[in-house]
Amino acid sequence: MNDPDSQAGGARKVLEVEEDAAGTRLDQWLAKQLAPELSRSRIQTLIREGAVSIGGSPVLEARAKVAAGFVVEVNVPPPEPAEPEGEAIPLDILFEDDELVVVNKPAGLVVHPGAGNWSGTLVNALIAHCGPSLSGIGGVRRPGIVHRLDKDTSGVLVVAKTDHAHRELTAAFADHGRSGDLERAYQALVWGTPPRPTGTIDTLLGRSGRDRTRQAVVSESQPDARHAVTHYTIRERFGEEPDATALASLVECRLETGRTHQIRVHMAHIGHPLVGDRDYGAAFLSKANRLSEPLKGLVSGFGRQALHAWLLAFRHPTTHMLLRFEAPMPEDMARLLAAFRAME
């Protein structure tokens, strides 16, 4: 039997152990009974906190064995208040249901609170927007961040609203779509033009030895080295020369892995950093001085890397339907791209 009684946002569940489950560990049996609502790790926490009892007596050992006919009571407390607090920040919602929310993140919005950004983030905005519909990630009423976009990168981003969705989506992104349907595509405006119409950049990335806030292509001997693969396709060239070079190019990048600053580092690594990228493309800033107006002014005043996550596709964690979302190029990047096209 399952008797969920309201407890100010929590739930009381009473279950009876069936005969064929006799001898099973308590946490394993409960995980099977309460999936997908509660994960095994969450159940183990509840057991340690004294929220699980058998015959009215708390059981504090997850490894305790159950017997046929045992009546197990689970008291799930209401999710703890979110930290940080919610803030009424406008959001461009592309899709939302009980499990997840998909947003078109603008450039300039930090995804998660951290040093120097404890408020005004996407998480603050989602806490306010979703309110009670957040069922609690690990017992805390907060959105579950599955993947991130840099502060100054715009585009499609999915966030989990439940523990189940968070587990499923996190696994899908960690797998990088190798065993499922996950697709991520970015539009990047880069200096110059890669030598081939399509290509793959396959390196190891880790913290830069010169600046710990940046990433760099590193050797396998570096402890934090992680495999990173980016596939690119040239979509347009601007200012083409007779020798097949160009002033700049619009490149589509598709990720096989999802490392910090991956596209920015990879494109700089092959000699074609993103327009506007002051961290990885500083050596190319002088290129703007050689441009004619109005392009020169637009490039000089473009205060971020020209990178937009235009496509995200994945399987819904509960219905398993394939969801596909596209976000139009934001106005600032579209204006810059139009100026490059006009120079032709």
For the annotated catalytic residues, the residue numbers are: 150
CA 203 to chain centre: 21
Q: Cβ of 71: how many Cβ atoms within 10 Å?
A: 13
Residue written as token pair 């790790």: 41
Contact criterion met (CB below 8 Å) for 340 and 238: yes
Question: What's the Cα-to-Cα distance from 252 to each of 165, 255, 342, rounded to whole Å?
Answer: 29, 10, 20
The SS3 of residue 302 is coil
Alpha helices in the chain (DSSP H): 26-34, 40-48, 122-130, 163-175, 262-269, 295-301, 331-342
CB environment 193-203: b (16+ within 10 A), e (fewer): bbeeeeeebeb
Please classify residue 166 by burial: count the beta carbons closer than 10 Å to its beta carbon, then call 0-12 exposed, 13-18 middle and 19+ buried. buried
List C-alpha distances in Å: 27 to 32, 46, 62, 102. Answer: 9, 10, 5, 33
